[in-house]
């Protein structure tokens, strides 16, 4: 059997060990908070208010359409080309800072196709936003009729 004196030593030893562990955890937690604050305060596209537009342009057979220009305009300003689709029909614009609220319109144009939807239109509120705007390309004379089966 363990004597009372030895029990006290063991309890004291484990208590000291637990205090060391808790102190180390507290120091680690506080140092992580400081690192996080440094990262959050660094200006990056994720913390700077603005917009990145991405998506794809596909035809009726789900094949990507390369070389389509993607336009963006704010409120009543004229449109500007922000991206062109790559070989597989995907695109992503650069980051465009927007200091406050803004009405945004995005549309696709080029290669003699018509695009569905014709445009995306929304209100961008202050903050960072990544907006997906994908389009379906078809020839202007394509007629979409329902298939009726019996």
The model's pLDDT over 46-95, given as tens digits with 9 standing for 90+, comes to 678 999 999 999 999 999 999 999 999 998 788 999 999 999 999 999 99
Element (DSSP H or E) covering residue 108: strand 102-109
Owning domain of residue 78 = 50-138
Query: Distance between CA atoms of 107 and 99, rounded to whole angstroms?
Result: 22
Residues 107, 35: one domain? no
Question: Does residue 61 lie within any of the structural domains?
Answer: yes
Q: In the beta sheet, which residues pair with residue 123?
A: 103
| Summary mean pLDDT of the chain | 82
pLDDT, tens digit, for every residue of 77-91? 889 999 999 999 999
Regarding whether 24 and 1 lie in a shared domain, the answer is yes
The answer to whether residues 58 and 81 belong to one domain is yes
Quick check: is 149 in a domain?
no
Total length of the chain: 150
């Amino acid at each position: 059997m363990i004597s009372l004196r030895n029990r006290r030593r063991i309890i004291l030893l484990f208590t000291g060990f637990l205090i060391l562990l808790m102190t180390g955890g507290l120091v680690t937690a506080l140092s992580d908070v400081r690192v996080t604050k440094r990262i959050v305060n660094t200006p990056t596209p994720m913390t700077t208010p603005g917009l990145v537009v991405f998506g794809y342009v596909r035809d009726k057979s789900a094949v990507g359409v390369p070389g389509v220009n993607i336009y963006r305009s704010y409120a009543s300003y004229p449109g500007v080309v922000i991206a062109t689709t790559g070989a597989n029909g995907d695109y992503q614009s650069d980051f465009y800072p927007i200091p406050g609220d803004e009405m945004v319109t995005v549309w696709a144009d080029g290669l003699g196709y018509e695009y569905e939807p014709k445009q995306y239109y929304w209100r961008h509120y202050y903050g960072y936003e990544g907006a997906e705007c994908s389009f379906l390309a078809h020839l202007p004379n394509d007629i979409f009729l329902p298939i009726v089966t019996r």
